Structure 1
């Protein structure tokens, strides 16, 4: 079935959703994006995703030609145009059409694309049995480079890490920062649990501040776990009681092995199970209504 795509203010059939080969998003990765989920007729954490989109835009000095309210309306319009209640939504804003030079001043108008479709990163079985991950040679780019807090269209750092994971037959890669501390995965934030403490790398470690990361930390606090945002190494990871990831596409998913080291007894931990259950409960019952008339 053909999807309907939002392209610069219009809903068009997928086959007509075309941009110029001179668009600087295509030529140079000059732009930003957000991945958003909808469940049961509600868009999950829409305000937070829009806020992060505009923060990324401000940092790279990209003027989005829609207000935040207009962006919200465009996202909802795109979902309705595809008659979806459960969806993965991709919002892309590029610098727009320019010339073959780098100068963004040659791009007269940003390109805005919104896609509403479906995504499944991992089979449901892995949410019960857990992932076996590897650490890869590619390091996370630091904040003085292309800051990882910017959700930019230049994802080669993540893609190179994913290629290295693919070469080792792993479903996801753990990326270290330039100082050798655990940063994040190619598309997910990472957490470890030791006794009654949950730890995740801090924002300055070179991570994207995931919207679902905040849900996990709030759920952990609800459970009475001590929440820490601090640096840790692979040694801490190998010796954790439990480990799991979170992200918009992956949701929350357990990890049972890293670099050939089994996490605890190799089964999914009880606290991780509880966090996954709470995450899904929140996702399935909260959000911005899509069909509110």
Structure 2
């Protein structure tokens, strides 16, 4: 993190040391708010419009009034990137419920708060992209979709964090999370794909998977490659017996997985389709997106 990092906070760009929110903010007290993680490649913000649409949809789903228009949010995001002269990196855009009372009632929070961080991120070590990840099955299940929609990227990520702790304690970087019926949902922070007999599959969003922006981009690339992806309900058996497996996410991009619950996936090395897809995604990410205007 740069010592000169500038943060957008409720209409102003302020130094990181001055970017503070109240201890009475319901985003802190109750995890009441929504967020987006967005990537910057080669001076362009990747799929910014899609990310912002999802952000506003999430806010609407939890009855959170966004204090900025869509166009104002887009400008604030691009201005934050430009102010930090960041040409490759990561954006975390957060909307909290705002300051309120010590109670659950969100209507006692007069106005939501918005802050935007533009910095760098490294989710996995570089060698994992070359050699692949090892996965485990997490004991922590994804919540039932009728309790909390997986499409809401809320500030309460404790479910994912508890699963992540399991992975790290097992010496792995990632793990497969199952839904309450025991079907494959997603990883702690990524979507999961498998390749079997030349065909590509990923769990449907109805299984508790987030409809990821990178997930969508990868499905488009797969269609262009002549390997369209099919959404299919999966069990652990399907991953155990897959020829290839890879994960996708904004921070993770596309990364191979080569072992699951100590079983090698395929021959235990990144597969050819995964490697080709990774190359194509890098080209797409570095050649498209909303351009940033730098001073």
TM range (shorter): over 0.9
The 2-side partners of 1:142 and 1:195 are apart by 32
The 2-side partners of 1:136 and 1:52 are apart by 27
Q: Alpha-carbon deviation of 1:2?
A: 2.5
The 1-side partners of 2:164 and 2:124 are apart by 14
Cα deviation per residue 1:179-237 (whole Å; 9 max; x = unaligned)? 11110001100000012210000011101110000111111111111321010110010
What residue in structure 1 maps to residue 274 of structure 2? 272
Alignment length (residue pairs): 293
Alignment of 1:169-248 (within 5 A): 169-248=171-250
Q: Alpha-carbon deviation of 1:147?
A: 1.2
Q: Alpha-carbon deviation of 1:137?
A: 0.5
What residue in structure 2 maps to residue 31 of structure 1? 33
Q: Extract unaligned runs of 5+ from structure 1.
A: none
The 2-side partners of 1:78 and 1:170 are apart by 34
Q: 1:90 aligns with which of 89, 92, 103?
A: 92
Q: 2:24 aligns with which of 22, 26, 30?
A: 22
What residue in structure 1 maps to residue 163 of structure 2? 161
Higher alpha-carbon deviation: 213-222 or 19-28: 213-222
The 2-side partners of 1:195 and 1:289 are apart by 39
What residue in structure 2 maps to residue 130 of structure 1? 132
Q: Alpha-carbon deviation of 1:143?
A: 1.2
Q: Is the Cα–Cα contact under 8 Å of residues 196 and 226 in structure 1 kept in the other structure?
A: no
What residue in structure 1 maps to residue 48 of structure 2? 46
What residue in structure 2 maps to residue 105 of structure 1? 107
Q: Is the Cα–Cα contact under 8 Å of residues 184 and 190 in structure 1 kept in the other structure?
A: yes
Q: Is the Cα–Cα contact under 8 Å of residues 175 and 184 in structure 1 kept in the other structure?
A: yes
SS at match of 2:193: strand
Q: Alpha-carbon deviation of 1:126?
A: 1.1
The 2-side partners of 1:136 and 1:123 are apart by 21
Q: Is the Cα–Cα contact under 8 Å of residues 246 and 254 in structure 2 kept in the other structure?
A: yes
SS at match of 2:86: coil
Cα deviation per residue 1:227-263 (whole Å; 9 max; x = unaligned)? 2101011001000000000000000000000001100
Q: Is the Cα–Cα contact under 8 Å of residues 188 and 250 in structure 1 kept in the other structure?
A: yes
Q: Alpha-carbon deviation of 1:292?
A: 7.0
Give the RMSD, CA atoms, in angstroms: 0.9
Q: Is the Cα–Cα contact under 8 Å of residues 40 and 89 in structure 2 kept in the other structure?
A: yes
Correspondence 1:288 to 2:290: yes
Q: TM-score, normalised by structure 2?
A: 0.98
Q: Is the Cα–Cα contact under 8 Å of residues 85 and 294 in structure 2 kept in the other structure?
A: no
SS at match of 1:125: helix
The 1-side partners of 2:239 and 2:24 are apart by 44
The 2-side partners of 1:121 and 1:87 are apart by 12
The 1-side partners of 2:158 and 2:249 are apart by 19
Q: Is the Cα–Cα contact under 8 Å of residues 40 and 85 in structure 1 kept in the other structure?
A: yes
Correspondence 1:72 to 2:42: no
What residue in structure 2 maps to residue 262 of structure 1? 264
The 2-side partners of 1:166 and 1:269 are apart by 25
The 2-side partners of 1:99 and 1:106 are apart by 6
The 2-side partners of 1:261 and 1:196 are apart by 20
